[in-house]
Amino acid sequence: MALAMTPEVERLLESGTLAEAEGNLREALVWFEAAVKLAHDQALPRLRLGTLCHRVRDYVRAGEALAEASRLDPENAEIAFRLALTCDALGDQERARTAYARTMMLAPGSWQTWFLIGRDHRDLDHPEVARLAYLRAIDAAPDQPAELLFELGTLLWEMDMRDEGFALLERAVLACPVDPGFTLQLALAEMERDNLMAAHRLLTTAKHLDPADRRIDVALKDLSIQRNLARKRRRAA
């Protein structure tokens, strides 16, 4: 049986969580890695490290940390859920399906299960059913995870419920400022709203978070075109 976490490990996790919330990616990684090294038989530091690595798209490293967390705590639905998302991102569909099924078995009424139900219905082009499932997930979640806010926000945006969707995208970025995908999507929404200064700020942030993401480059080019058109309209007015 694993021993309780020491005060030092708890302090490292608190520091890492605070750094992540403030958008300090490198600092958060340092704190979580230190916690993993000290807590040899604890799943939680590996869950925190794996979740952060997934959010910044280091899926291989995320998979390693989450697989170890799952070995240490196989009855933890949050670990199973995060491992499933990472396996999905890595293209390992068989392991992802197994972990998704385990999530739903371990916590059938949890936000993770409702999230998965909503995503399945979204994939099946049942947007209203997906929306209701995501709302159930929000009701079940104690802290409204950023992934859930983002999924519902993008869905509402696609359903032309723009004000509600935009507000959720903003909340997702505030909750998880280290995810370049969240920041990119909010920037695209700002572009559609003709808030070009905000879009530029967000795209610059996204580019800093993930310099290799070609979608960000495309969005920056589109933004440049949109800004040039706006300048021409002002001159012609």
Same domain? For 87 and 150 the reply is no
Q: What is the Cα–Cα distance from 186 to 68, expressed in whole angstroms? A: 33
Q: What is the Cα–Cα distance from 13 to 16, expressed in whole angstroms? A: 5
Q: What is the mean pLDDT of residues 14-22?
A: 94
Same domain? For 3 and 66 the reply is yes
What confidence score (pLDDT) does residue 233 get?
A: 80
93 token code pair: 């569909």
Domain end position, chosen among 174, 194, 211: 174
Name the percent of the chain lying above pLDDT 70.
Answer: 98
Q: What is the mean pLDDT of residues 124-143?
A: 96
- CATH for 6: 1.25.40.10
Same domain? For 144 and 193 the reply is no
Q: What is the mean pLDDT of residues 190-207?
A: 96
Q: What is the mean pLDDT of residues 3-12?
A: 87
Residue 77, domain extent: 1-106
Q: What is the dihedral of CA 70, 75, 76, 81, to 10 degrees?
A: 70
What confidence score (pLDDT) does residue 1 get?
A: 47
Reported as a single tens digit per residue, the pLDDT across 172-197 is 999 999 999 999 999 999 999 999 99
Identify the helix (H) or strand (E) that includes residue 113. helix 111-123
- Tally the residues of the chain: 237
Same domain? For 94 and 121 the reply is no
Q: What is the Cα–Cα distance from 145 to 96, expressed in whole angstroms? A: 20
Q: What is the Cα–Cα distance from 112 to 209, expressed in whole angstroms? A: 26
Same domain? For 21 and 59 the reply is yes
Q: What is the mean pLDDT of residues 3-28?
A: 91
Reported as a single tens digit per residue, the pLDDT across 74-133 is 999 999 999 999 999 999 999 999 999 999 999 999 999 999 999 999 999 999 999 999
Same domain? For 123 and 46 the reply is no
The yes-or-no verdict on residue 2 having pLDDT over 60 is no
Provide the mean pLDDT of the chain: 94
The yes-or-no verdict on residue 24 having pLDDT over 60 is yes
The residue among 34, 38, 129, 40 whose CA lies nearest residue 49 is 34
Q: What is the mean pLDDT of residues 186-215?
A: 96
Q: What's the structural domain count of the chain? A: 3
What confidence score (pLDDT) does residue 230 get?
A: 81
Q: What is the mean pLDDT of residues 7-31?
A: 94
Q: What is the Cα–Cα distance from 179 to 185, expressed in whole angstroms? A: 10
Reported as a single tens digit per residue, the pLDDT across 57-69 is 999 999 999 999 9
